[in-house]
Structure 1
Amino acid sequence: MPNNSVSNIATADALTLLLHNQHALAAAIEEVAVWLAASGAAVVADNAVMAMETLDTNAKAITDAIMRIRQS
């Protein structure tokens, strides 16, 4: 049976990497949204902003889960 703390560390580390990827995706979507807004595609830019809001909400939940795992 694997050591629970080792397993928790591995899980938290993997989630942290996924969180970093999520932040990178949000930054890329934000750049595209700004470009779309400047190009006159306001509806599409608004959709991109809504996607970023979802990423932000989920990032908070992932961060909370990482903290709980690291504290256990």
Structure 2
Amino acid sequence: MDERPPITADTLELLHLNQIAIRAALEEVSLWISQRGSTNVHDNILSILHTLDTNAEAIASGIESLRSM
């Protein structure tokens, strides 16, 4: 049996969890920045968060596919 798909899925899942944690941290910083009046920076970060969310969905789907192999 080939061990690569489970190892790859496990590794990608850890990276995915890191991405989720980084997203949460960015959101906290963005809210802090917004509260201090820098709405342009906050808006830019919200755009980046949207990209992270989109990519996270694709990563989760890929992990699910690897696990079903």
Fold equivalence (TM over 0.5): yes
Residues paired across the two proteins, number: 69
5 Å matches for 1:1-72?
Answer: 3-4=1-2, 6-72=3-69
Shift, 1:9, TM fit: 0.4
Q: What CA RMSD, in Å, does the superposition of the two structures yield over aligned residues? A: 0.7
TM-score of the superposition, structure 2-length normalised?
A: 0.96
Q: Hey, which bits of structure 1, 4+ residues long, moved more than 6 A? A: none
Shift, 1:71, TM fit: 0.2
Structure 1 gaps of 5+ residues are none
Return the letter of the residue paired with 2:62.
Answer: A
TM-score of the superposition, structure 1-length normalised?
A: 0.92
Return the letter of the residue paired with 2:20.
Answer: H
**Structure 1 CA distance, aligned partners of 2:48 and 2:33?**
14
| Deviation readout 1:27-54 (Å, 9 max, x if unpaired) | 0100011011100000000111111111
Identity percentage over the alignment? 42
